[in-house]
Chain A
């Protein structure tokens, strides 16, 4: 195949990848800006929770004062995990924007994303246990097995690991004389 024809094709593809990655990066930044705008606009002291039902991890409470402390701790950890997940995703998009698509750094970020997804899933299971104030067997086990977060997290981690091994195989084959 003519090398002169290849380079423009590869450039066109790389440019498309860079454009899509840039758009997604902007979306991630906007997603972060939204709650910060809410906090700044209403000033932290003046934020009031409306006098109505409060839902945390999809569990309803009559009002905010009814929420037990462990649930608030889980919520704080969950927010931290969401933040870390979004940062990981942003870094992955950064790598795609630079044209780095199948490197070890990409795989590390995907593994981290998988870990955060699974971690969030475990938090939702823990929240269920706290809400019901007991471990209901076999329902708690079913929660763990069928949790979409845990399943997606584990699947993402395994796929990232497989891609890493595949990448190493390709590199080793390239070094073969």
Chain B
């Protein structure tokens, strides 16, 4: 094949990759800023609210905040992934590491969400009224019996959705397979 014909084709492909990666990067950054704005605004209003100072943060509040941070980190990692593609690093170790981190973040996000689901939820911390009489009945929780339609669910009857955990594990495993494939290719290229 004529080398003069191949180089422009390669440049064309690289330019397409750069353009698409740049657009995807901007979209990810936009989503990150968008999802940052509303919670931060809400937290600022909560902190400035006079009733908040009496309550403080409860464990579910802390876990919710951490889950939100995990989501932001997830968007940031996707942004970095597309940045690597824009630089032309498509099958590199850095790219694959980025994909593995995305998978791990999915699993960590699942763990936090499951913990939130399991923990008993007190009244919102900013609304705790200290003058509440101790002998009054307190609703600790509501058990709702429900049936979720769908044969292909990921809760296996436990009430806990394992879908995000499986997605995280699958992403990490596929990234690992790609990494092994990359190492095989590199080793074969070095073979004389």
Q: A residues bordering B, Cβ < 8 Å?
A: 1, 3, 6, 9-10, 13-14, 16-17, 20-21, 24, 31, 34-35, 38-39, 49-50, 52-56, 60, 64, 67, 75, 78-79, 82-83, 86, 89, 96, 101-102, 145-146, 151-152, 155, 158-159, 161-163, 165-166, 168-170, 172-173, 175-177
Contact = CB atoms under 8 A, between A and B. Distances in A.
Interface stretch (B15-23, B48-56, B60-68, B126-134): B15-23
- Chief secondary structure at chain A's binding surface: helix
Nearest to A166: B90
Interface in B133-157: 144-152, 156
Interface of B: 1, 3, 6-7, 9-10, 13-14, 16-17, 20-21, 24, 31, 34-35, 78, 81-82, 85, 90-91, 144-152, 156, 167, 170, 173, 176-178, 180-181, 183-185, 187-188, 190-192
B24 A173 contact: no
Contacts of B6: 172-173, 175-176
B3 A3 contact: no
Ranked nearest first, the 5 interchain pairs of A and B with the lowest CB-CB distance are A101-B181, A35-B151, A166-B90, A53-B146, A52-B145
A176 B7 CA distance: 9
A129 B49 CA distance: 35
Contact of B151 (A38, A49, A53): A38
A13 B181 CA distance: 8
B149 A56 contact: yes
Contact of B183 (A13, A52, A159, A172): A13
Contact of A162 (B20, B145, B150, B184): B20
B170 to A, nearest CB: 7
B173 A20 contact: yes
26 contacts: A1-B190, A6-B187, A10-B184, A16-B180, A17-B181, A21-B177, A24-B173, A34-B156, A39-B151, A49-B147, A50-B145, A52-B146, A52-B147, A54-B147, A54-B148, A56-B150, A82-B152, A86-B152, A102-B178, A145-B31, A151-B31, A158-B20, A165-B13, A172-B9, A173-B10, A176-B3
A54 B145 CA distance: 9
B150 A146 contact: no
Contacts of A1: 187, 190-192
A6 B188 contact: yes
A172 B13 CA distance: 11
A16 B192 CA distance: 25
Contacts of B13: 165, 168-169
